[in-house]
């Protein structure tokens, strides 16, 4: 199995992430599913923040699907969480 961002995200299912989109929208929620090839992601318990629109409040959603081509950044809650996931994925590889 190759070590790719998609496989890393697949190992991160259940973790809370913040996804920033190209249109500056931010989504915060638990990673529900991830397709390793296309990076299509589904989040659960989502809070949606629109940055370009004035006077908008955060929107709460049950689930949200994002196509991989719209993703700019993926942020994790803490650096130690990322290191733990990386170590676990390398152990599985051997």
- Could you give the domains of the chain? 5-78 (2.30.30.100)
Contact at 8 Å (CB) between 5 and 92? no
Contact at 8 Å (CB) between 87 and 28? no
What's the pLDDT at 1?
A: 46
What's the pLDDT at 91?
A: 65
CA Rg value for the chain? 14
Stated as kind and residue range, the H or E segment containing 21 is strand 16-21
Tens digits of pLDDT across the chain (94 residues): 455 777 778 878 888 999 999 998 999 999 999 998 888 999 999 999 987 666 678 899 999 999 999 999 998 877 666 777 677 766 665 5
């Amino acid at each position: 199995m190759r070590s790719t961002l998609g496989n890393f995200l697949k190992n991160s299912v259940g973790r809370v992430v913040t996804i920033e989109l190209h249109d500056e929208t931010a989504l915060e929620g638990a990673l529900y599913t991830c397709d390793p090839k296309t990076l299509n992601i589904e989040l659960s318990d989502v809070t949606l923040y629109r940055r370009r629109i004035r006077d908008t409040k955060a929107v709460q959603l049950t689930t949200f699907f994002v196509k991989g081509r719209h993703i700019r950044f993926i942020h994790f809650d803490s650096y130690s969480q990322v290191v733990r996931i990386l170590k676990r994925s390398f152990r599985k590889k051997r």
